[in-house]
Structure 1
Amino acid sequence: MDKFSRIIDYIRISVTDRCNLRCRYCVNEAFPFMPHAEVLRYEEIIRFVRVCAELGVTKIRLTGGEPLVKLGIEFLVKEIHAIDGIEDISLTTNGVYLGKKVPQLKEAGLRRVNISLDTLQPERFAYITRVDAYKDVLDSIEKAKDMGLNPVKINTVIIKGFNDDEILDFARFAKAWDVEVRFIEFMPFGESTLWDSTKIIPSHEIEELIRKTYTLAPSLNSHKGPAKMFNMVGSLGRIGFISPVSTHICRECNRLRLTSNGMIRPCLFSDTEFDVKQLLRDNADDDALKEFISRCVREKPEKKHEIGLLKKCQKSLRNIGG
């Protein structure tokens, strides 16, 4: 528990800063990678999760970069799944490689998957990602559903002037495919020069637009988190809204982040981070690790920004973990 009585039981772990896409709002053309030696090894991640589980963490999400570019990711899922206390393992992916890995990941213990998809137009997908892989992502969504990784969640960043004309298309997609589409406000991160505040569309505007065509019924978020959820009447599809810019979601925050180079970030929008990799590589004992992690939790801020005054984070999501 942190200083503000929030129970921290969820850790998002970036396993790599590397990605097979070059999304324009995430990176610039240079796209430098971390040296391999700086990235946490699987055995270090596994030990970190075990210690966190002993402190009360029950939920792990693996992210990147793109976690499925990491060799042997199924091994990591299996080892985390075997740790006492871990009840839920999920994965955030761009979906390009997921279709080929779903059976192995499901067997290893993966419960759920979030797939990032910002457009339903193949040409636009190729433009924003700089890769022609739209069909691969749709195939991955279908295979994830077939393998029972439900609910399959689609993360969609809405950017004014780029894909805001597809809001109703995504709502229709959620209803037709029985998936959960979560609209995410455009957030300011790191290297990209694409972001500016005029391109943000507040969640309430997206919700109002969707309600003109579809009937939405309030829904409980089955996994505690920042999304405001709705059922789409007449289908199994759901719509969600994640509003880090227009609405305070800090009071519901139950997570820490572990970056791919071994830094604990108590807050996504703060550049404050703590080096746990050094302790792991110095073979610090479990008690020292627990005290360090607990101290990081105590440093978690109550809130990091005022509405409309969000400071641009100096690192990209591929470094922090999406």
Structure 2
Amino acid sequence: MLIDPAGRKFSYLRLSITDVCNFKCVYCLPDGYQCDHDREFLSLNEISNTISAFAHHGITKLRITGGEPTLRKDFIDVIRVAKDTPGITKIAATTNGFSMHKHINDWVDAGLNAINVSIDTLDPRMFNTITGHDKFNTVMKGIDAALESGIESVKINSVLMKQYNGQELDTFLAYLKHRPVTMRFIELMQTNDNKAFFDKNHVSGQSIKVRLRAAGWQPV
């Protein structure tokens, strides 16, 4: 079992299988994905060996991430490799959802248990502004397909930003009322090169918590 100096046990591995992304989100890749050198990502065999090594040390849950992991042509094979690894009992993935409407059933059949979809707005025009792509309806179609697929868990990740979607909290809450979806609001991160953007757009988690409590939402 993997245990840190504080005595905490780790059973959850996040594995990035690519750094490529096809969206141009304003807070992440505003100029789109760029690479000026040869890329050499982990091969399927290397991924299998990595998962097996961590499973040997007590990892039971795997999250497949990127970049956008579904851009890999062997994404479904990665799921199968994870499913076939002794000790791995839960396989999740994080995606922008651009191809989910076409492939979610195949992913679930291969062994995917949970899906997190990054979508920062429920307004089609704002979606285009934030991501640089007119794919809102496609992503929402994918979320509906995931809910119909029988997958165990569907979560939505959203970064609220003052100048973009900062007023959409109530819209997201209304969307959740009649759907078995878990919503996660993620704070905008400050990095070395985004201080001006961060200062103009950061919405604190505490402020969201206060608004949720005021609206009657309770912790469980």
TM-score with structure 1 setting the length: 0.64
Partner letter of residue 101 of structure 1?
H
Change (3 A) 1:166 1:145: same
Report the RMSD for the aligned CA atoms in angstroms: 1.8
Deviating more after overlay: 184-193 vs 105-114: 184-193
Mean CA deviation greater in 157-166 or 204-213: 204-213
d(CA) in 1 for partners of 2:196, 2:33: 15
Instruction: Please tell me whether the aligned partners of residues 114 and 154 of structure 2 are also in contact (alpha carbons under 8 angstroms).
Output: yes
Equivalent of residue 141 in structure 1, options 116, 133, 143: 143
Structure-1 residue corresponding to 2:184: 182
Residues 33-48 of structure 1: matches in 2 within 5 Å? 33=35, 35=37, 37-48=39-50
- In the alignment, what sits opposite 1:265? none
Contact 1:154 1:182 in 2 (8 A): yes
Q: CA deviation at 1:207?
A: 2.1
* Shift of residue 34, structure 1, vs aligned partner: 6.9
Aligned residue pairs, count: 218
Please report how far the alpha carbon of residue 189 of structure 1 lies from its aligned counterpart in structure 2 after TM superposition: 4.0
- Pairing partner for 1:123 from 122, 125, 128: 125
CA distance in 1, matches of 2:115, 2:139: 13
CA deviations over 1:171-222 (Å, ceiling 9, x no partner): 1111132311111111124665763245222222112223333x32322xxx
- Following superposition, the deviation at residue 35 of structure 1 comes to 4.7
Q: Conserved in 2, the CA contact under 8 Å of 1:49 and 1:80?
A: yes
Q: Structure 1: which amino acid aligns with 2:43?
A: R
**TM-score, normalising length: structure 2:** 0.92
Give me the whole-angstrom Cα distance separating, in 2, the residues matched to 1:164 and 1:135. Answer: 21
Q: Higher relative CO (CA 8 A, sep ≥ 6), structure 1 or 2?
A: 1
Q: Letter of the 1:9 partner, please give it.
A: S
Match of residue 216 from structure 1: 217
- Counterpart pick for 1:49 among 48, 51, 60: 51
Q: Which runs of 5+ in 2 are unaligned?
A: none
- Which moved further from structure 2: 85-94 or 181-190? 181-190
Matches for 1:67-146 after TM superposition, within 5 Å: 67-146=69-148
Matched position secondary structure for 2:42:
coil
Cα distance change of structure 1 residues 189 and 105 upon mapping to structure 2, 3 Å threshold? farther
Distance 1:9 1:181 in 2: 23
Preserved CA contact (<8 Å) 2:130 2:164: no
Contact 2:12/2:59 (8 A) holds in 1: yes
Is the Cα contact below 8 Å between 1:28 and 1:192 reproduced in 2?
no
Q: 1:65 to 1:93 in 2, by over 3 A?
A: same
Moved more, 77-86 or 157-166: 157-166
Question: What is the percent sequence identity of the aligned residues?
Answer: 32
